[in-house]
Amino acid sequence: MEAEVLEPVQPIPEKTRLISLNLVYDYPVFWSKYKVLRDFAQNFYDSVGMEEWNEKFHWSFENKTIAMEVDDVSFSYEWLVPIGASTKRDDGKRHAGYFGEGFKLASLNALRDYGWDVSAASSDWELKVTSSQIIVDGKPLKSLAYELGTREYSSKTSLIIRRADVSEDLVQAVMLSFYYPENILLGEKLWENISGAIYTRSSAPLPKNSFKTPEFGAAGIIFASYQNLGSIDVPFVFANHTFRKDDRDRNGLYDFDIIELIRDLIPRVDPETSLLLLEHMEDRWHDYPNGRYDLHSFNAVITMLAGKVASSKTVAEKFMKAHPNLLAAKEVRKKDIVSKNRRNQALSWKANCGVKYKLVQINFQEIGYPTLEEECEKNGGYSLVKCPDPLQAKYMQVMEDYVNTIYGASYFGFESLPECRIILNEEASWAGMATCFPLSSKSCNKLGRKLKFTMNTVAVKGKYLKKDCFATSVSIYIHELCHVFGKDKSANFSAALSEAMQLQLSNIAALLKARIAWSEVEGDAVIEEGQIPEVFGDDKESGER
């Protein structure tokens, strides 16, 4: 809305009377210039309503003078005297204000803190904000007051603020901080009913003094009870007319308030709008709460949007066509060892399957997506195990004998080494795997290395239990045993693996002996004494357990 120059209010006539408000000057309320102006403008907004705001409200800012005026609205000055009184009582309209004290407290801050000259006029009266002296218990106190005079009757109500040392951007931000359909910050209307609306964000720049929520940036705007009280990091305007935080001193909404406000709107929104919102919240598709009560998680918002999309077969098909490679993954509890192991195997399959899948919340199943575990199993990604055949058992025995010679079972916290198994699926992502269980008590191995897990089985792929795979098989086997010290990326695991390699290099004779035993399993030529055995290779296929 373009600012227009208004005629200033006529000077207050000589015949005036002083009305003390009994609002002492040191009353502990301190508002910013933005809030003072917004509360002044809010009184006009509430008197007109959003439907006629663009047509009836006019404002200008020139030479440090802010003028506000509204057509066809008049009221008695008596409403501006008592704290808590408001013309908005029981009028059936929807308002941005609530406490009935905005004009009084805004006037106090304007005069006391900023030295502004404030005057107002309506109907047949006009007033100037000033101060007076009141006596309380025999002590003189300074109080806010009005100099009240009369004027010829007018159907216009106006407010003039002189000596307003503010920027034009600040005034513009205030005037655009109210919800109305013609607000230039609003783009295309996507959905609306009596309780709220959702628009795209227009290309009009947001005034730099507009309220922004630090956690979310300012791509989108949040209107709560018709006022801009926050921002969001997606390019939409969310207006929830029934959402109210009855806190006089709060200037805006917190991030968790905004999540609640959006969540409150979603059940009323149509599937097509939900699809558009969901697509712009892609970064949150796999959000889960960090704990039982996580007020900062968008989990519930995404869940509701996915449910709305799923409620329309046409919209669901449209979404799946645009996003074909999604896999639903439920939250897995740390104590659920079986599910956690399946999840880790499925994640390893996902990382190596050749398709760029994206994980989403489990509720995306309603749209039609399979779960991560279902797709992994369908494509043979799980590392099912079996007992070794007699030949494989001989190779495994060589590995066990070598490990017992170099380390001993107690190095890994065992009385005896865990059973060996064969990974049934040669296409599985892992070359080896171990079934691990967290230790409930703190313990260390014989060298003082902290133990995190115990295990009952270690498995390797059968293709490595062959005559030319000694180095690879033994490195995989030791790698898996070292998982008693932690997961692949943990510092304790990495240190333990380095330590294990040092112990091997300090006993080359045992390494050579094991290599000879390995070669004799299938009748290979015996390695002559003094020959250098092959160097251990990396376990390139192994993943985190």
Residues 203 and 166: their CA atoms lie apart, in Å, by: 25
Predicted pLDDT at 234: 96
- C-alpha neighbours within 13 Å on the C-beta side of residue 95: 20
**Long-range pairs for 348-353: beta carbons < 8 A, 24 or more residues apart:** 348/381, 348/429, 348/430, 348/543, 348/544, 349/376, 349/379, 349/381, 349/382, 349/428, 349/429, 350/376, 350/381, 351/429, 351/543, 352/429, 352/541, 353/379, 353/381, 353/429
**Residue 373, amino acid:** E
Q: What is the DSSP letter of 283?
A: G
From the list 51, 94, 45, the residue with the least C-alpha distance to 70 is 45
Predicted pLDDT at 98: 39
Contact at 8 Å (CB) between 13 and 22? no
Contact at 8 Å (CB) between 105 and 42? no
From the list 96, 67, 71, 40, the residue with the least C-alpha distance to 157 is 71
Predicted pLDDT at 249: 56
Low-confidence ranges of the chain (pLDDT < 50): 1-2, 4-5, 8-10, 12, 85, 89-90, 92, 95-100, 524-545
Structure tokens at 334: 């740390």
Q: What percent of the chain has pLDDT over 90?
A: 61
Helix (H) or strand (E) holding 480: helix 470-481
Residues 202 and 184: their CA atoms lie apart, in Å, by: 7
| φ/ψ (deg, to 5) at 348 | -65, -40
Give DSSP secondary structure letters for 404-417.
HHHT-GGGGT-SSP
Give the tens place of pLDDT for each residue, 96-139.
443 346 788 999 999 999 999 999 999 999 999 999 998 888 89
Q: Which three-class secondary structure state does DSSP give residue 313?
A: helix
Residue whose entry in the numeric block shows the structure tokens 């705001």: 53
| φ/ψ (deg, to 5) at 415 | -80, -35
Predicted pLDDT at 113: 96
Tell me how crowded residue 440 is: count the other CB atoms within 10 A of its CB.
6
Residues 222 and 133: their CA atoms lie apart, in Å, by: 43
Q: What are the structural domains of the chain?
A: 17-167 (no CATH), 186-269 (no CATH), 284-288+308-378 (no CATH), 385-520 (3.30.2010)
